[in-house]
Structure formats: structure tokens, C-alpha cells
Amino acid sequence: MKLEELLLKRSEGKCELCRAETKLSLYEVMPQQKSNEDDCIMICNKCLAQIEKKEDLDKAHWACLTTSMWSDVPGVQVITWRMLHRFSSESWATDALDMMYLDDDRLAWAKATGEHESDNVVDLHRDSNGTVLNSGDTIVLTKSLDVKGTTLNAKMGTVVKNIRLVEGNTEQIEGKIEGQLIVILTKYVRKQGS
């Protein structure tokens, strides 16, 4: 039986964190030597996006941690511990952490990535109004920009379609203006339709 089939059977077709029955994905809890059923869990897209900091944390959604913390599955325990730490400013999360027990090996695994030391702030690409930008969006320039190394001047109000997010830098996006791919600062754009 394939690993994903084993995990679906174990989870009864539900997210092992929040119990949602929506589209599930196999998630490998890092770091690990090899994927096995103790080191992997089935999670929904909402949990995945928030674990990977691609979406703002939804406190109401993560109330499920007070239940998942009692799971016998090592990977579920580790992710639950990490997520509770991201909510460490909330009394319910600190209470749950006080009750939760991980043996020394699992605690070392949970701390290995350093995710528990980061706060719950999620770095997303946002336009000048604070609206979240996604790859493929259409934006409008809010300022005229001179493009370095060219004679191109992108005028205020220019529409740029099908942008790409610059990975590792939430202040930059890429888009084509007059057929030329340029880097644009997010503080000078507004998502079209927002």
C-alpha cells in the first residue's frame, strides 16, 4: 500500500489537524531522513497554506490544535507543537503547550527547523493598500517609474497583467511593460479591482 493510501486510511479521509474533509495533501514534517507514516501527515489546503506562511493565520481555524495535540501520530504532535508556539501570545495556546508532552526525541524534532521561534507574522506580497498579491494578478502602477538600465519610463496608471511574485522578497514583483520584464516594488502598485 502506498504511503498516501496508508495516511488516508489512518486519517479517515480528514485533515489530521483540523478534521476538515476538503482536498487533502500529504505533508512531510521536516526534517526527516525518509518519508514514512510517522513523519508524514494528511492536511487540508487551509492548514497547508498557513503552516507554510502563504496565508495569514486564522486563530479560529487553529482552535483545533487543542484536540490534535492528543494525537498518537508523531508528525501531528510535532506540527501541533510548532503551531501552538506561533500562537504563544494567546492564552489558550500557552495553556495547551503547558499540557502537551513530547519525549526528548520528538521535542528535538519539533525544534529542529526553528519555526517555533518565529512569530505568527506572515510575510506576503502586498500592494500599496495592503491587499495581498498573487502570481497572475493584474496591477496598476501608482507612480511613474524610471526603469534602471533602460530608457523606459513606466507611467502612473500603467496596467501590468500576469505578474509574478519575486520569491524571497515580498517587496518586489515582476511584470512586463512594453514587452520588457522588469522588477517593480510593491509599494508602487495597486491590485486592479481593489
110 and 171, same domain (yes or no): no
Q: What is the pLDDT of residue 14?
A: 97
Could you give the CA distance from residue 32 to residue 117 in angstroms, rounded to a whole number? 19
Whether a cis peptide bond, with omega within 30° of 0, leads into 31 is yes
pTM of structure:
0.68
Give the total number of structural domains in the chain: 2
Domain boundary among 117, 148, 176: 117
Kindly state the helix (H) or strand (E) to which residue 155 belongs, with its residue range.
none
Name the pLDDT band for 11 (thresholds 50, 70, 90).
very high
Extract the C-alpha cell encoding 78: 510535532
Residues paired with 40 in a beta bridge: 28
Could you give the CA distance from residue 132 to residue 127 in angstroms, rounded to a whole number? 7
pLDDT tens-place string over residues 146-155:
888 788 888 9
**With 60 as the cut, is the pLDDT of residue 157 above it?**
yes
DSSP alpha helices (H): ranges in 45-139? 45-51, 65-68, 74-86, 91-99, 104-111
**Which of 2, 11, 5, 1 is CA-nearest to residue 75?**
11
pLDDT tens-place string over residues 31-86:
987 789 999 999 999 999 999 888 888 999 999 999 999 999 999 999 999 999 99
If one compares 182 and 116, the residue with the highest pLDDT of the two is 182
Q: What is the pLDDT of residue 71?
A: 96
What CATH code is carried by the domain that includes residue 154? Answer: 2.30.30.40
**Cα–Cα distance list, 138 to 34, 145, 157 (Å):** 41, 17, 12
Domain range enclosing 58? 3-117
Q: What is the pLDDT of residue 26?
A: 95
DSSP 156-179: TT-EE-S-EE-TT-TTEEEEEETT
Q: Is 15 helix (H, G, I), strand (E, B) or coil?
A: coil
Percent of the chain with pLDDT over 90: 64
108 and 144, same domain (yes or no): no
Of 22-26, 96-100, 113-117, 188-192, the least confident: 113-117
Domain boundary among 57, 86, 117: 117
**Cβ atoms within 10 Å of 93's Cβ, excluding its own:** 21
Q: Do 41 and 24 contact (CB within 8 A), yes or no?
A: no
Q: Tell me the mean pLDDT in the region 144-166.
A: 88
**With 80 as the cut, is the pLDDT of residue 142 above it?**
yes
Q: What is the pLDDT of residue 150?
A: 80
Q: What is the pLDDT of residue 132?
A: 85
pLDDT tens-place string over residues 74-132:
999 999 999 999 998 899 999 999 999 999 999 999 999 877 665 555 678 889 888 88
163 and 105, same domain (yes or no): no
Q: Do 83 and 77 contact (CB within 8 A), yes or no?
A: no
Longest dimension (CA), the chain: 63
Q: What angle do CA 43, 49, 54 make, to 5 degrees?
A: 165
Q: What is the pLDDT of residue 124?
A: 82
Residue tagged 479560529 (cell numbers): 60
